Structure 1
Amino acid sequence: MKSAILALAVLAVSACTWVEPKPEAAGIKLATASDVQHCEHLGNASSKGVSKVGIYVRKDEKVITELAALAKDEAYKMGGDTIVRSSELGEDGSMTFGVYRCRL
């Protein structure tokens, strides 16, 4: 019985999205470094998320998606329209993104 409850809890946690993207940032694009060669670099956005919940380690892909959503929110505040990953996912659940303005 305990193992069934634990299994259900793990499934519930793994399905959760911890970050709700802001509607204003929906148009911000996640691009590669080669895509922004002719864009204006506005700065960087550092994001930190939850990569571990208790003994459960969340999938990197899910954490990175949530960190990108946070970076898009920051890019919107900075007047950017594009972000580019500029670091790998850190052990502490952090990542840095470059913020660019590519559209006039």
Structure 2
Amino acid sequence: MKRFLLILSAVPLAACSWGVKLDSGGEKVRTAWNQDVGAGCKDMGKVTVSVLDHVGPIGRRDLKVRDELEVLARNEAARMGADTVQPVGDPQDGEQAWRAFHCGPASREGKPAMRIEQRNENGAVETYPVKGN
């Protein structure tokens, strides 16, 4: 019975957003998903970010973990002076590496959105993959 109550009390924690929010600088950073970083972009370096992917024995939703990793990468890239991030690989144990680039405003003109962003009821930005990207 104690075991059941422990698991039951941990379930609501698995759905929490953990306070990962897109800041004003991160809002200006785009995510390049399909190797579409232009030749004129300057490589600003590597960003490695991490979040909890498990709460005790309970795993968090993969999409939520990936969204939070992207938000953290965009926030960190903005602090580096970058305006574009690109994942280096898939997340491993709640950690993911990204490359940060400075491409300038011309790189964003005329390019289709790679993801749709939407604010939830708490004002936090959530991203959703666009079909085909």
Tell me what 2:104 maps to: 103
Gaps of 5+ in 1: none
Higher relative contact order (CA 8 A, sep 6+): 1
Structure 1 residue runs of 4+, over 6 Å off? none
In 1: Cα distance, 2:46 partner to 2:54 partner:
25
**By how many angstroms is 1:98 displaced?**
0.5
**By how many angstroms is 1:85 displaced?**
0.5
Spell out the pairing of 1:16-55 with structure 2 (5 A cutoff).
Answer: 16-18=16-18, 19-38=20-39, 39-55=41-57
**By how many angstroms is 1:66 displaced?**
0.6
**Aligned with 1:67 (options 66, 69, 81):** 69
Deviates more, 1:54-63 or 1:14-23: 14-23
Deviates more, 1:49-58 or 1:14-23: 14-23
CA separation of 1:83/1:22 partners in 2, compared to 1, >3 Å: closer, same or farther? same
**By how many angstroms is 1:21 displaced?**
2.1
CA separation of 1:90/1:5 partners in 2, compared to 1, >3 Å: closer, same or farther? closer
In 2: Cα distance, 1:94 partner to 1:6 partner:
25
Indicate the RMSD between aligned Cα atoms, in angstroms. 2.1
**By how many angstroms is 1:59 displaced?**
1.4
In 2: Cα distance, 1:75 partner to 1:7 partner:
38
**Identity among equivalent pairs (%):** 30
Spell out the pairing of 1:77-92 with structure 2 (5 A cutoff).
Answer: 77-91=79-93
Q: Please give the TM-score of this superposition, normalised by the length of structure 1.
A: 0.83
Deviation digits for residues 36-91 of structure 1 (CA, Å, limit 9, x no counterpart): 03211110100011000012101121111111111111101110001000021113
Q: Please give the TM-score of this superposition, normalised by the length of structure 2.
A: 0.66
